[in-house]
Amino acid sequence: MTDLKKPVLVTGASGNLGRMLAAALSARGYRLRLTDIKAFPDDLPAGAEFVTTDLGDEAAMLRIADDCQAILHFGGVSVDRPFEEVMDPNIRGLYHIYEAARRAGARVLFASSNHSIGFHSRPGPGEPKLDAPGSFRPDSFYGLSKAYGELMGRLYWDKHGVENLNVRIGSCFPEPVDARMLATWLSFDDLARLCIAFLEAPKVGHAVVWGASNNPATYWGADHRARIGWEPLDSSEAFRAKVEKLLSGNPVAERYQGGAYCANDYSRASPSPRDAFALD
């Protein structure tokens, strides 16, 4: 699909991931239109422009996405926050992104999250990994907003033909910082390669990819990565000795894939069952 003459819109561009992607995509020769509610803190990469925009401003989002070939949507609330803080940027704001994509004829990469499936139990030795399709089990209002975002993509693909890739990001940091990230870590370089593969894939349709590097300890199984020709090259194993003993000490956080987000405000007297529809 790549058309280097048409810009790629990156939302959330002033955050750590947005800044990294701006540099990587610029080096690849893409024209970039960067936006965030906060000012861009670095020098702009070659071929990039920055516009301060609020995701809640529909008219502004429609203007900024006009003539773009793709939207890499990393904007919005990116951590566990109360519902009222999540609702406007992550619910209404995402609608504005998809309406802008529909009108511009653009495809969308949605930065989803492992927290959309966080209340799945971690697999034990020999147990099957979690496959991507149909596996929502959010662990927070933030995770719930990501499940909503993936379903928004499903709707816009079925109703309007808007291609979209939902990347369930695990833990995207320069390196793992605790034992859980041996399963969930996504390197910056692997994320950049994933975004480039998305932009350059001939067809995407509606797809879900686990946003994790090539980690032997992963919780996750099948997804649609072959559709865009992406395979992660990095691995958390290089950091195992450094982090494998760094556990949370919280039994709820250690039981579920979403970690600490599952433990926040947790009030059950006993753990929820592995089967989301089972009786206690």
Distances, alpha carbon 257 to alpha carbons 91, 188, 260, 264, 270, in Å = 24, 21, 9, 14, 17
Secondary structure class of 133 (helix, strand, coil): coil
CB 115 within 8 A of CB 140: yes
Burial of 91 (0-12, 13-18, 19+ CB in 10 A): middle
Conformation bin of residue 205: beta by default, left when phi > 0, alpha when psi is -120 to 50: left
Candidate list 30, 98, 142, 156, residue with the active-site label: 142
CA 86 – CA 79 distance, rounded (Å):
9
Q: Minimal CA–CA distance to 68: which of 159, 161, 2?
A: 2
CA 185 – CA 182 distance, rounded (Å):
6
Which ranges in the chain belong to alpha helices (H)?
16-27, 58-65, 83-87, 93-104, 141-160, 181-184, 188-200, 240-243, 251-255, 260-263
Q: Is 142 a catalytic residue?
A: yes
Residues with catalytic function:
142
